[in-house]
Amino acid sequence: SMTRKSKTPRKPLFKKGSQASLKDPVGVYCRVRPLSFQDQESCIEVINDTTVQLHTPEGYRINRNGDYKETQYSFKQVFGTLTTQKELFDVVANPLVDDLVHGKNGLLFTYGVTGSGKTHTMTGSPGDGGLLPRCLNMIFNSIGAFQAKRFVFKSNDRNSMDIQCEVDALLERQKREALRQIDPEFADMINVQEFCKAEEIDEDSVYGVFVSYIEIYNNYIYDLLEEVPFDPIKPKWNSCNTPVRNTDFIPPQSKMLREDKNHNMYVAGCTEVEVKSTEEAFEVFWRGQKKRRIANTQLNRESSRSHSVFIIKLAQAPLDADGDNVLQEKEQITLSQLSLVDLAGSERTNRTKAEGNRLREAGNINQSLMTLRTCMEVLRENQMYGTNKMVPYRDSKLTHLFKNYFDGEGKVRMIVCVNPKAEDYEESLQVMRFAEMTQEVEVARPVDKVICGLTPGRRYRNQAFREELTQLLLQSFPPLPSCEILDVNDEQTLPRLIEVLEKRHHVRQMMTEEFNKQVVAFRAMLQEFDNAVLNKDNYIHGKLSEKEKVISGQKAEIERLEKKTKTLEYKIEILEKTTTIYEEDKRNLQQELESQNQKLQRQFSDKRRLEARLQGMVTETTMKWEKECNAPPIRIRHRRSRSAGDRWVDHKPASNVQTETVMQPHVPHAITVAVANEKALAKCEKYMLTHQELASDGEIETKLIKGDVFKTRGGGQSVQFTDIETLKQESPTGRKRRSSNTAPAQEVVTEPEWTDVETRCSVAVEMRAGSQLGPGYQHHAQPKRRKP
Tens digits of residue pLDDT in 458-486: 666 776 666 666 666 666 666 777 777 77
> Whole-angstrom Cα distance, residue 207 to residue 432?
40
Higher pLDDT, 75 or 36: 75
Element (DSSP H or E) covering residue 514: helix 493-630
For 316, phi then psi, to 5°, come to -135, 130
Higher pLDDT, 280 or 465: 280
Do the beta carbons of residue 543 and residue 549 sit within 8 Å?
no
Predicted confidence (pLDDT) at residue 156 exceeds the cutoff of 60 = yes
Taking alpha carbons only, the member of 410, 415, 419 closest to residue 435 is 415
Do the beta carbons of residue 758 and residue 659 sit within 8 Å?
no
Question: Percent of the chain scored above 90 by pLDDT?
Answer: 31
271 falls in which pLDDT band (50, 70, 90)? very high
Higher pLDDT, 618 or 585: 585
pTM to 2 decimal places: 0.57
Q: Is the dihedral of CA 725, 731, 737, 738 positive or negative?
A: negative
278-298 and 131-143 helices, crossing angle to 10°: 150
Beta-strand pair 648-651/686-694: parallel
Determine the pLDDT at residue 750: 40
Give the SS3 label for residue 299.
coil
Do the beta carbons of residue 196 and residue 138 sit within 8 Å?
yes
Higher pLDDT, 247 or 66: 66
Binding residues, as ranges, are: 112-119
> Whole-angstrom Cα distance, residue 336 to residue 543?
51
Q: Is the dihedral of CA 28, 222, 120, 353 positive or negative?
A: negative
Greatest Cα pair distance in the chain: 198
Determine the pLDDT at residue 457: 65
CATH number of 672-725: 2.60.40.4330
Average pLDDT over residues 362-373: 72
Fold match flag (34-444 vs 672-725): no
548 falls in which pLDDT band (50, 70, 90)? very high
Average pLDDT over residues 750-774: 45
Tens of pLDDT, residue by residue over 677-711, are 888 888 888 899 998 888 777 788 888 899 998 88
Determine the pLDDT at residue 446: 74
Highest mean pLDDT pick, 327-336, 349-358, 661-670: 327-336
Q: How many residues are there in the chain?
A: 788
Residue type, 293: R
- Of the ranges 109-123, 318-332, 349-363, 543-557, which one carries the lowest mean pLDDT score? 349-363
Predicted confidence (pLDDT) at residue 770 exceeds the cutoff of 90 = no
Determine the pLDDT at residue 112: 92
H-only helix segments in 71-164: 85-88, 94-101, 118-122, 131-143
Cα radius of gyration rounded to whole Å, the chain? 58
CB atoms within 10 A of CB 623: 17
CA distances from 445 to 93, 399, 477 (A): 17, 19, 59
> Whole-angstrom Cα distance, residue 676 to residue 266?
105
Tens of pLDDT, residue by residue over 90-128, are 999 999 999 999 989 999 999 999 889 999 999 988 878
CA distances from 686 to 667, 669, 682, 785, 786 (A): 10, 10, 10, 19, 19
**Per-residue DSSP letter, 321:** T
Taking alpha carbons only, the member of 383, 391, 373, 381 closest to residue 432 is 373
**Burial of 656 per CB tally in 10 Å (0-12, 13-18, 19+):** middle
**Per-residue DSSP letter, 5:** P
- Of the ranges 377-381, 638-642, 654-658, 772-776, which one carries the lowest mean pLDDT score? 772-776
Do the beta carbons of residue 27 and residue 445 sit within 8 Å?
no
> Whole-angstrom Cα distance, residue 289 to residue 211?
14
501 falls in which pLDDT band (50, 70, 90)? confident
Average pLDDT over residues 576-596: 95
Taking alpha carbons only, the member of 13, 3, 2 closest to residue 74 is 3
Beta-strand pair 105-111/334-342: parallel
> Whole-angstrom Cα distance, residue 501 to residue 483?
12
Residues 6+ apart with CB under 8 A from 287: 183, 225
Predicted confidence (pLDDT) at residue 374 exceeds the cutoff of 70 = yes
> Whole-angstrom Cα distance, residue 648 to residue 670?
5
Element (DSSP H or E) covering residue 8: none
Do the beta carbons of residue 211 and residue 273 sit within 8 Å?
yes
Long-range contact pairs involving 60-69 (C-beta distance under 8 Å, separation at least 24): 60/422, 60/425, 60/426, 63/2, 67/1, 67/2, 68/1, 69/1, 69/2
621 falls in which pLDDT band (50, 70, 90)? confident
Residues 6+ apart with CB under 8 A from 42: 35, 420, 421, 422
H-only helix segments in 131-225: 131-143, 166-176
Q: What is the CATH architecture of 34-444?
A: 3-Layer(aba) Sandwich (3.40)
Give me the chain's average pLDDT, please.
79
Do the beta carbons of residue 125 and residue 133 sit within 8 Å?
no
Determine the pLDDT at residue 576: 94
Residue type, 167: V
Residues 6+ apart with CB under 8 A from 320: 326, 327, 328, 454, 458
Determine the pLDDT at residue 257: 93
Determine the pLDDT at residue 777: 34
Q: Rounded to an integer, what is the distance from CA 182 to the centroid of its chain?
A: 50
Do the beta carbons of residue 304 and residue 345 sit within 8 Å?
yes
Q: Rounded to an integer, what is the distance from CA 382 to the centroid of its chain?
A: 4
> Whole-angstrom Cα distance, residue 598 to residue 282?
98
Determine the pLDDT at residue 451: 60
Q: How far apart are the first and last CA of the chain?
A: 107
Residue type, 1: S
Tens of pLDDT, residue by residue over 593-613, are 999 999 999 999 999 999 998
- Of the ranges 187-191, 233-237, 410-414, 657-661, which one carries the lowest mean pLDDT score? 233-237
Residue type, 730: E
Higher pLDDT, 646 or 233: 646
Do the beta carbons of residue 766 and residue 746 sit within 8 Å?
no
Taking alpha carbons only, the member of 207, 204, 203, 198 closest to residue 161 is 207
Determine the pLDDT at residue 368: 83
> Whole-angstrom Cα distance, residue 206 to residue 146?
5
Residue type, 183: D
- Of the ranges 389-398, 431-440, 515-524, 771-780, which one carries the lowest mean pLDDT score? 771-780
Determine the pLDDT at residue 308: 93
Binding residues for ATP, as ranges, are: 112-119
Predicted confidence (pLDDT) at residue 718 exceeds the cutoff of 60 = yes
Higher pLDDT, 93 or 766: 93
440 falls in which pLDDT band (50, 70, 90)? confident
Higher pLDDT, 229 or 40: 40
The count of C-alpha atoms lying within 13 angstroms of the C-alpha of 197, restricted to the half-sphere facing its C-beta, is 9
Can you name the residues that pair with 319 across neighbouring β-strands?
A: 326
Domain ranges of the chain: 34-444, 672-725
For 269, phi then psi, to 5°, come to 75, 15
453 falls in which pLDDT band (50, 70, 90)? low
782 falls in which pLDDT band (50, 70, 90)? very low
Taking alpha carbons only, the member of 626, 560, 577, 633 closest to residue 768 is 626
